[in-house]
Chains A and B, each alone.
Chain A
Amino acid sequence: MRVAVLGAGAVGARVARQLLSADSVDQVVLRDPSAERLAWAARALGDRVLTEDHPFPALLEADAVVVASPRGTQLAAAEEAISAGRPAILVCDGLAETVAILKLDRMAQDAGVPVVVGAGFAPGLTCVLVAHGMAWFDEVEEVHVYKMGAGGPACALVHHRALSRFSYDWRDGGWMRRPGGSGRELCWFPEPVGPRDCYRAALADPVLLHHAFPEVDRITSRMAATRRDRLTAPMPMLTPTHAEGAAGAVRVELRGLKGSAQETLVLGAAERPAVGAAAVAATVTEWVLDGRVSVNGMAGMGEMVEPVGFLADLAARGLVAEIFEGDGAVA
Chain B
Amino acid sequence: MRAVVRAIRQAAAAISVAATVVTALRLGGRVAVPRQSGGWRQLNGPDLR
Contact = CB atoms under 8 A, between A and B. Distances in A.
B25 interface: no
Contacts of B40: 190-191, 268, 322-325
B26 interface: no
A4 B38 CA distance: 44
B24 interface: no
A324 B47 CA distance: 12
Contact of B42 (A312, A322, A326, A329): A322
A230 B23 CA distance: 27
Contacts of A190: 40
Is chain B's binding surface mostly helix, strand, loop or mixed?
mixed
Interface residues of B, number: 11
A327 interface: yes
A326 B43 contact: no
A321 B38 contact: no
Interface in B1-20: none
B49 to A, nearest CB: 7
Contacts of A324: 38-40
A257 B20 CA distance: 48
A327 B39 CA distance: 10
A130 to B, nearest CB: 14
28 contacts: A191-B40, A267-B43, A308-B48, A311-B48, A312-B48, A315-B48, A320-B42, A320-B43, A321-B42, A321-B43, A322-B40, A322-B41, A322-B42, A323-B40, A323-B41, A323-B42, A323-B43, A323-B47, A324-B38, A324-B39, A325-B39, A325-B40, A326-B36, A326-B38, A326-B39, A327-B37, A327-B38, A329-B38
